[in-house]
């Protein structure tokens, strides 16, 4: 019924314009029968005039008067269905009784002719119900009386406020379904009631009542019920009730969007060159880009790329442009085509959690307007396999690791074909360590298992594109377009030279730096940073990239030392707001460096800050409150923060010399489209580095190489385990064949010097068998003999078959690094012997990431102090994992220790203390000070622990012996993910809402997801401090999206419960059973 009602509401306004006249539906009565009085004519003209005036007027909301109960739809006027029914009834009733037989025949012929095309059934969700409006008995001559049934065209004519009436019409149909024509009565009393109840804008119908119609018995009068009265009173009652308000304008827009999507779908499936209103998308998409992003026109390269034959034919595509060239917009349009026109799900893979959240915030508003879901797969968020949606499609935005898990789950459940498009941003990351190996595995599985999934890869820094093309079987498009011209400079001593590829040594002299330096300033700022930044700030923005985190802070402080106090006056009030908000999100704490630099419009930005602090500083920089950021190279690969001038403090990242790819990414931040006419980059270098820098600016980008074999436990071994686990390849031949199609397979001649691909394949499988992750089945020789020998080297002689063990499946499902899977199993098994549940410490230890234990050695004095404060139960938990207070005491006092203790266990327990303290206090600043660690590191540890806890949970779900951990780890994962008081968790589920913002919202009265989803962005701006309009809209959009997702999931669950099982007994044998 809801589905039917929705269709009626969408079409009611459109169909109303083309309503059939009365004459086309009913036979026209004679003039004598329907001649109205002058008074009635005048009244009719007035009513008609009133109706004409209301055409195009917006429907009134919360209107209590009967006059406009149905908006501008005159449901009781001369063109309405009710009036038509009454006319037919009147005509029939006015005929003399002594000519009853002839009249019956005439009426039957008259009505049958005009009604034969207007019979309708009302569609409900599960069945079609035919509603008979007047089922008549046969008359004396054997003729059947006319049966009037609601027709589809008439049903579409009904106003939206009347739609609810039909929800209960089946219950009442029997009340009037069996009444015969002889029992109809049009007495004056009932007519009077009708006319009194009519809205003022309805037209009175002239009634001439034959005297013979009054000759009725009292029982006949009681039994007779006018069809008009019945329908009118029911609809009037429904209209007065609290029914949903439907905007006619909105209905028209929805209808238009639906029609445009259908047209776009047909266009996109055809080979036509006509791409419709907006690249095969509805014109509403173009309007939304103007509304949400201010994009009115595409760049020429974007148009060219979108109209490529390879794109139209859905071939895989790699495209490369300089940073800030507008690559993402092309990907977004292609994703929308897939979601709206081809009705397929889409996966977008991004490198970092912060970028995932930024993209979700930006696209949620599109999802709400265009009717698709935007789902986050980052950190511990994301459901495997994803929820199977009934109608709407999903856009999954994921990190590299979560994207891999998502693809695995879709392959396992046989749903990989539902994924129509995969977009990979920063494709060059396929050549970066273990994360690159995971990305390569994901793409290789997609290519192998789904021939219908299109892959789009984009990057600003690609060189050996041919290898990637061969791997992805993709076309390639490139352009050197930049919306803002970029000028590159080098600074040596006082000279500034412009990079010029035509010059003999790669650069030409530009100017001398003219800035009066005092002796003190020369000592403090030998690189003339103050001179370079003051040329652009505070009116323009500037980024200074520094080699290390500590250098970022020092440079920010040094610059502020020599800036004049005039800089404080620039946006002074806004800067005080930034400081105030930094304190609010940090429970009153404020970094002393930021306290000194922000009043001058300067701040540092690196991983030592909490995500709340970074987000706030990024927003302040984007809005121009801060004009200078000193940052590390990670900012170049992270969120988009362009600047008028970019300065590279030195050609180093930490202690390593700068790579060409890193250099291009950093200088790519120079020049803001739509704001600057030119962007500048200045690399500061010393004489000793001059030759290396000249090589840097002239050489091509670094090649991209596979790390699949180099990262063995996170690469090739994990790949083979998942291939067998997903049954993609279960024998040696198929596994080797799969490897040949990987990026590594394409580059094997370059990468393999000592061993062949076959030997590496065999070795990796042997390792998995030794670890107990795979089991080798019998080996069938060509002669038919069965052997159970070790793996042999000659592929032509033997065919090996493998199956995954329980431990292997648990490791694969939990995405556990294979280097630690057996250690994790042993720790969990040992934990069962004496799991301490008096506190969370023991559980936290089991979910502390193994790889982070190597990164930092404990402060032994702090370790001993924390250990001595443990309760007896907590000390017992420490003893169970193998660390005693005596051992920590000796380490703290520097004594020699004879007893050997596993260093990894000791370090891991120290990290567990940090996490345990953090969960108890929920204040990163306090914990950071207590353990003498950067607050950013503490937060990264928390995020890593939440992710690993989620992995351990999936690991335990596959092993029956660990059933006790399942319920415990669900709650622990939630605690680690949010690490806030329980009341803030619903707000922090919204993408982009971190702890500080959640506190502000909660204190402002927004205490639930529903509150945020129904919030007015303008009211939010006034209620919440330092919240921009863009942020407010994104928060509301994200909350609405999340609420819709949850509602859809619940609805799907309900329908699944109520759905008749496909294996229901007798459902196949008995055709009469309805599904």
Helices (H) and strands (E) in the chain, counts: 49, 24
Rounded Cα distance between 176 and 168, Å, is 14
Instruction: Find which of 9-23, 85-99, 163-177, 406-420 is predicted with most confidence, using mean pLDDT.
Output: 406-420
Each residue's pLDDT tens digit, 860-890? 999 999 999 999 999 999 999 989 888 999 8
Counting other chains too, the contacts that 864-868 makes at CB distance below 8 Å and 24 or more residues apart are: 864/888, 864/889, 864/891, 864/892, 866/913, 866/917, 866/931, 867/913
Question: What's the CA gap between 897 and 886, in Å, rounded?
Answer: 10
Query: Is it the case that residue 483 has pLDDT exceeding 70?
Result: yes
pLDDT single digits (tens) 557-569: 999 999 998 999 9
- Per DSSP, 419 falls in state E
Name the pairing type of β-strands 419-425 and 345-349: parallel
Q: How far apart are CA 251 and CA 831, in angstroms?
A: 60
User: Where do we find the tokens 């009043």?
Assistant: 599
| φ, ψ (nearest 5 deg) of residue 681 | -125, 140
User: Which of 78, 74, 108, 76 lies closest to 91, judged by CA?
Assistant: 108
- Beta strands 316-320 and 474-478: pairing type? parallel
Kindly indicate the confidence band of residue 472, based on its pLDDT and cuts at 50, 70 and 90.
very high
Rounded to whole angstroms, how far apart are CA atoms 80 and 389? 40
Instruction: Give me the pLDDT at residue 199, please.
Output: 37
Q: Is residue 235 over pLDDT 80? A: no
Residue from 509, 540, 567 nearest 680 by CA: 540
* Pair of tokens at residue 297: 């026109």
The token pair at 506 is 């790669």
Chain CA centroid to CA 469, Å: 29
As beta bridge partners, residue 394 has: 373
Confidence of residue 1049 (pLDDT cuts 50, 70, 90): confident
Integer Cα distance of 939 and 945 in angstroms: 10
Task: Give the tens place of pLDDT for each residue, 681-705.
Answer: 999 999 999 999 999 998 888 999 9
Distance CA 841, CA 872 (A): 12
Asked if residue 815 lies in contact with residue 401, where contact means CB atoms within 8 angstroms, the answer is yes
Predicted local distance difference test score (pLDDT) of residue 494: 87
Could you tell me if residue 986 is left (phi over 0), alpha (psi between -120 and 50 degrees) or otherwise beta?
A: alpha
What is the predicted pLDDT for the residue at 137? 39
Give the distance between the most distant pair of CA atoms in the chain: 125
CB-count exposure of residue 174 (10 Å: 0-12, 13-18, 19+): exposed
CB-CB contact of 620 with 570 (8 Å): no
**Of the candidates 915, 907, 912, 888, the residue with the CA atom closest to the CA atom of residue 899:** 888
Burial of 21 (0-12, 13-18, 19+ CB in 10 A): exposed
Quote the pLDDT of residue 201.
37
The reported pTM is 0.73
Question: What is 428-460 written as a DSSP string?
Answer: GGGGSHHHHHHHHHHHHHHHHH-SS-EEEEEES
Q: What is the pLDDT of residue 595?
A: 94
| Residue in the structure block whose two tokens are 């011209």 | 485
Mean pLDDT of 371-390: 89
Give yes or no for residue 598 having a pLDDT over 80. Answer: yes
Which pLDDT tens digit goes with each residue over 250-293? 666 666 667 666 666 665 555 444 445 788 888 899 999 999 88
Distance spanning both ends of the chain, measured CA to CA? 16
Can you give 548-573 as a three-state secondary structure string? Answer: CHHHHHHHHHHHHHHCCHHHHHCCHH
Mean pLDDT (whole number) for 84-108: 49
SS (H, E, C) 288-308: HHHHHHCCCCCCHHHHHHHCC
Residue 173 scores a pLDDT above 70: no
Q: Is residue 552's pLDDT more than 60?
A: yes
3-state secondary structure of 511: strand
State the pLDDT at residue 84: 58
pLDDT in the model for residue 944: 93
At residue 827 the predicted structure's pLDDT band, cuts being 50, 70 and 90, is very high
Sign of CA dihedral 707, 710, 715, 716: positive
CA distance 559 to 533: 9
Residue 648: φ, ψ to 5°: -100, 115
Looking at 554-563, 707-716, 788-797, which range is the least confident one?
Answer: 788-797
Contact 658, 696 (CB under 8 A): yes
């Amino acid at each position: 019924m809801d589905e039917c009602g929705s269709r009626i509401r969408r079409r009611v306004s459109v169909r109303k314009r083309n309503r059939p006249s009365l004459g086309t539906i009913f036979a026209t009565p004679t003039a004598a029968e329907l001649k109205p009085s002058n008074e009635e004519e005048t009244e009719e003209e007035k009513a008609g005039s009133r109706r004409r005036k209301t055409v195009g007027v917006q429907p009134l909301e919360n209107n209590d008067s009967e006059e406009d109960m149905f908006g501008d739809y005159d449901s009781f006027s001369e063109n309405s269905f009710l009036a038509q029914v009454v006319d037919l009834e009147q005509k029939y009733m006015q005929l003399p009784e002594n000519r009853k037989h002839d009249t019956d025949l005439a009426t039957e012929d008259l009505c049958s002719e005009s009604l034969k095309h207007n019979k309708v059934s009302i569609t409900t969700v599960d069945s079609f119900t035919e509603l008979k409006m007047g089922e008549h008995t046969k008359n004396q001559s054997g003729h059947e009386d006319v049966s009037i049934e609601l027709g589809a065209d008439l049903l579409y004519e009904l106003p939206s406020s009347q739609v609810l009436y039909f929800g209960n019409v089946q219950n009442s149909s029997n009340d009037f379904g069996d009444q015969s024509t002889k029992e109809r009565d049009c007495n004056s009393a009932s007519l009077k009631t009708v006319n009194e109840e009519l809205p003022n804008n309805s037209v009175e119908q002239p009634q001439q009542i034959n005297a013979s119609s009054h000759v009725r018995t009292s029982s006949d009068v009681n039994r007779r019920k006018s069809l008009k009265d019945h329908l009118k009173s029911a609809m009037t009652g429904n209209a007065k009730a609290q029914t949903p308000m439907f905007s006619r304008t909105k209905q028209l827009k929805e209808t238009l969007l639906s029609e445009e999507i259908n047209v776009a779908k047909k266009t996109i499936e055809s080979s036509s060159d006509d791409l419709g209103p907006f690249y095969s998308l509805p014109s509403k998409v173009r309007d939304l880009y103007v509304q949400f992003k201010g994009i009115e026109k595409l760049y020429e390269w974007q148009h060219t790329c979108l109209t490529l034959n390879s794109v139209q034919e859905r071939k895989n595509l790699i495209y490369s442009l300089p940073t800030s060239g507008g690559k993402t917009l092309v990907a977004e349009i292609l994703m929308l085509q897939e979601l709206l026109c081809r009705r397929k799900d889409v996966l977008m893979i991004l490198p970092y959690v912060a970028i995932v959240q930024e993209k979700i915030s930006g696209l949620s508003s599109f999802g709400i307007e265009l009717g698709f879901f935007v789902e986050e797969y980052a950190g511990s968020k994301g459901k495997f396999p994803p929820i199977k949606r009934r109608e709407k499609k999903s856009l999954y935005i994921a990190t590299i690791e979560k994207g891999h898990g998502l693809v695995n789950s879709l392959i396992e459940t046989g749903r990989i074909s539902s994924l129509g498009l995969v977009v990979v941003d920063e494709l060059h990351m396929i050549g970066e360590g273990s994360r690159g190996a995971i990305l390569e595995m994901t793409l290789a599985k997609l290519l192998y298992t789904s021939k219908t999934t299109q892959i789009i890869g984009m990057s600003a820094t690609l060189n050996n594109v041919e290898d990637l093309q061969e791997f992805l079987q993709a076309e390639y498009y490139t352009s050197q377009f930049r919306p803002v011209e970029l000028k590159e400079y080098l600074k040596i001593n006082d000279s500034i030279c412009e990079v010029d590829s035509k010059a003999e040594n790669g650069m030409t002299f530009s100017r001398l730096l003219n800035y009066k330096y005092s002796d003190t300033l020369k000592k403090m700022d030998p690189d003339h940073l103050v001179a370079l930044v003051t040329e652009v700030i505070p009116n323009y923005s500037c980024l200074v990239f520094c080699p290390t985190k500590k250098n970022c802070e020092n440079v920010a402080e040094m610059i502020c030392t020599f800036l004049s106090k005039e800089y404080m006056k620039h946006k002074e009030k806004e800067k005080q707001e930034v400081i105030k908000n930094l304190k609010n999100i940090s429970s009153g704490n404020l970094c002393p460096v930021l306290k000194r630099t922000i009043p001058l419009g300067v701040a540092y930005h690196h991983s030592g800050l909490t995500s709340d602090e970074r987000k706030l500083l990024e927003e302040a920089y984007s809005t121009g409150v801060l004009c200078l950021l000193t940052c590390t190279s990670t900012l170049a690969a992270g969120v988009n923060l362009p600047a008028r001038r970019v300065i590279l403090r030195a050609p180093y990242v930490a202690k390593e010399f700068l790579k060409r790819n890193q250099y291009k990414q950093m200088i790519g931040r120079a020049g803001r489209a739509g704001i600057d006419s030119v962007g500048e980059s200045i690399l500061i270098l010393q004489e000793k580095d001059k030759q290396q820098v000249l090589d840097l600016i002239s050489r091509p980008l670094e090649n991209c190489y596979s790390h699949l074999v180099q990262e063995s436990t996170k690469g090739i071994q994990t790949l083979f385990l998942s291939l067998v686990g997903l049954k993609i390849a279960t024998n040696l031949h198929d596994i080797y064949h799969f490897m040949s199609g990987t990026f590594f397979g394409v580059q094997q001649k370059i990468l393999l010097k000592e061993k062949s691909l076959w030997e590496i394949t065999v070795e990796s499988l042997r390792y998995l068998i030794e670890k107990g992750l795979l089991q080798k089945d019998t080996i069938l020789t060509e002669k038919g003999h069965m052997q159970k020998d070790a793996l042999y080297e000659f592929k032509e002689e033997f065919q090996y078959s493998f199956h995954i063990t329980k431990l292997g499946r648990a490791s694969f499902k939990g995405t556990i690094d294979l280097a630690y899977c057996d250690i994790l199993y042993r720790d969990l098994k040992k934990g069962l012997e004496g799991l301490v549940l008096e506190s969370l410490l023991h559980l936290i230890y089991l979910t502390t990431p193994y790889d982070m234990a190597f990164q930092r050695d404990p402060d032994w004095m702090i370790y001993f102090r924390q250990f001595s404060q443990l309760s007896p139960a907590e000390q017992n938990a420490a003893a169970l994992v193998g660390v005693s207070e005596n051992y920590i005491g000796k380490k703290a006092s520097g004594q020699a220790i004879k007893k050997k203790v596993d260093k990894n266990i000791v370090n891991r327990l120290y990290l567990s203390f940090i996490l345990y303290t953090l969960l108890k206090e929920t204040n990163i600043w306090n914990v950071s000070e207590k353990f003498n660690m950067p607050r950013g590191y503490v937060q990264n540890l928390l995020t890593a622990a939440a992710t690993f806890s989620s992995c351990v949970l999936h690991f335990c779900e596959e092993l029956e012996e660990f059933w006790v951990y399942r319920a415990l780890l669900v709650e622990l994962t939630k605690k680690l993910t949010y690490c806030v008081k329980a009341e803030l968790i619903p707000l922090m589920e919204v993408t982009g809402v971190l702890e500080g913002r959640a506190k502000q919202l909660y204190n402002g009265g927004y205490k639930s997801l529903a509150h945020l989803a129904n919030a007015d962005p303008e009211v939010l701006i006034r209620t919440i401090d330092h919240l921009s309009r863009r942020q407010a809209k994104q928060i509301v959009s994200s909350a609405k999206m999340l609420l819709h997702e949850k509602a859809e999931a619940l609805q799907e669950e309900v329908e699944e419960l109520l759905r008749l099982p496909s294996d229901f007994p007798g459902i196949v044998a008995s055709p009469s059973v309805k599904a």
